[in-house]
Amino acid sequence: GAVVSQHPSWVICKSGTSVKIECRSLDFQATTMFWYRQFPKQSLMLMATSNEGSKATYEQGVEKDKFLINHASLTLSTLTVTSAHPEDSSFYICSASTAGNTIYFGEGSWLTVV
Amino acid sequence: EDQVTQSPEALRLQEGESSSLNCSYTVSGLRGLFWYRQDPGKGPEFLFTLYSAGEEKEKERLKATLTKKESFLHITAPKPEDSATYLCAVQGPNDYKLSFGAGTTVTVRA
């Protein structure tokens, strides 16, 4: 079946630095990708919708200048957490939609800001 | 605003003890209702998409059904490996994003 890959699986960074997370659709083209954040024992919270070749659409309350999203190709979207702080530590998950409207998720990326 | 409510919050089953999970939803025009399984520390694994009331889909011991107000995920004769959090999500008519419920955590004891 379709596979969505995220990299890195986990990352530790120092406070004030930026970190990039990649999301790739491995065997299908995805015009739309989504970025979620998940806190322990909570459900997924949508951060933004990423459309290939255009600006991302951010959900209310999500800082677009802090969470930079780029969808440069039909198989790659990136999330950059800029000037990270400990409160940004979380589990970040991407998903991609196939042409048939099946939405697959990546394995997630654990971010720890120290 | 789309709303999704899952119940129960947690479910403990004996191996072989069949049960059902509920997902109640409110959406202005359902495009699709999605079920996912999520293991701790991992991304959600796609199970089913249902599009219209009356539709049913099956995969191994899981069967999902849909009405105009809710969806059920039936687990028949569960095994310990069915232990996971099951997430329900709805997709509205205007875009492709999903609104998730809080999930039901299922624990199956051998």
pLDDT digits (tens, 9 = 90+) for A5-30: 999 999 999 999 999 999 999 989 99
Query: Does the pLDDT value for residue B2 go beyond 80?
Result: yes
Q: Encoding tokens for residue B73?
A: 């995920």
pLDDT digits (tens, 9 = 90+) for B54-89: 999 999 999 999 999 999 999 999 999 999 999 999
Confidence of residue A72 (pLDDT cuts 50, 70, 90): confident
Determine, for residues A32 and B45 on separate chains, whether the beta-carbon distance falls below 8 Å.
no
CA distance B65 to B52: 10
| Distance in Å, alpha carbon of B6 to nearest chain A alpha carbon | 11
Q: What is the pLDDT of residue A1?
A: 59
Determine, for residues B95 and A6 on separate chains, whether the beta-carbon distance falls below 8 Å.
no
Q: What is the pLDDT of residue B32?
A: 95
Nearest CB to B98 within list A103, A106, A108: A103
DSSP secondary structure letter of residue A86 = G
Q: What are the CB-based long-range contacts (under 8 Å, 24+) for A59-67?
A: A67/A35
Q: Quote the percentage of chain B above a pLDDT of 70.
A: 100
Residues 17-36 (B) with a CB less than 8 A from some CB of A: 31-32, 34, 36
Please report, in angstroms and rounded to a whole number, the separation of the first and last CA atoms in chain A: 37
Residues 32-91 (B) with a CB less than 8 A from some CB of A: 32, 34, 36, 41-46, 49, 87, 91
Q: What is the pLDDT of residue B95?
A: 79
Determine, for residues B46 and A108 on separate chains, whether the beta-carbon distance falls below 8 Å.
no
Q: What is the pLDDT of residue A56?
A: 92
Closest CA to B8 of B23, B27, B18: B23
Q: Encoding tokens for residue A100?
A: 């048939």
> What average pLDDT does this structure show over A34-54?
91
Q: What is the pLDDT of residue A40?
A: 86
Determine, for residues A103 and B45 on separate chains, whether the beta-carbon distance falls below 8 Å.
no
Cα dihedral A84, A35, A93, B34 in deg (nearest 10): 160
CB-side exposure of B42: number of CA atoms within 13 Å? Answer: 13
**A6 vs B: CB within 8 A:** yes
Determine, for residues B96 and A44 on separate chains, whether the beta-carbon distance falls below 8 Å.
no
